[in-house]
Structure 1
Amino acid sequence: MLGTTVTHRRYVPYSHAHYAGNLVDGAYALGLFGDVATEVCIRTDGDEGLFAGYSSVRFVAPIRAGDVVEVTASVTRVGTRSREIEFSCAVVCRGNPERGPSAADVLDPPVVAVVATGTVVVPG
């Protein structure tokens, strides 16, 4: 169970842009963290579990509409009913309108946008 890691990838649609420059609000990444945490709980405990809270969240780079993000969750601590999880949301592809209206690039290395630590609880 300790070290279990789950990764999801998702295209960020333009309908989620809220700010100038097609920026997406930080809550978008937190929603994705909830999704990947659910899969972690299913894989480790056979139950969707419940998200208890975050002990830290850092927004370190923007997420924009048109990005492809990779969200990773890794179990770092296992209690009787709780699991501490480290989260990361990295931009792996980004639109490049200077090359054309639908042009995009693979980012190598990816740009880490959000990191967090959270706790989930599962039935005992």
Structure 2
Amino acid sequence: MQCPRCNHHHTQKIGLSRHKRQRWMCMGCHRTFGDKDLRLIDPKTKALALAMYAEGIAARKIERLLHVSHNAVLGWVRKEVAGKALQAPTAKDLAVIEADEMWSYVGSKNSPSGCGGQ
């Protein structure tokens, strides 16, 4: 086993994680690590989940179809639209702008998307 931080080859087994996965400790930098990060999701799955969400499929249905957490799907959506959803349009992009009182309400919300975000 090789340390992911310092690439040192002298490592030692130090037991199991709470999920019953082997843990290692690097004798060079004393960092602990596991075999691999099981939380990583394939980028193709993320892209498919975002496309499904954009088509109007509910997050819990995406969870059932792709076997990923609905919280993960909503987190990916928030990261994707962060800073894009409520940006004011530039003058050169639009010829006519229609504004009403809803813009001030939507712009004052704490979270631009999601369910009950702070």
TM-score normalised according to structure 2 size: 0.24
Q: Which has the higher contact order (CA 8 A, sep 6+)?
A: 1
Q: Which has the larger radius of gyration?
A: 2
TM-score normalised according to structure 1 size: 0.24
More helix by share: 2
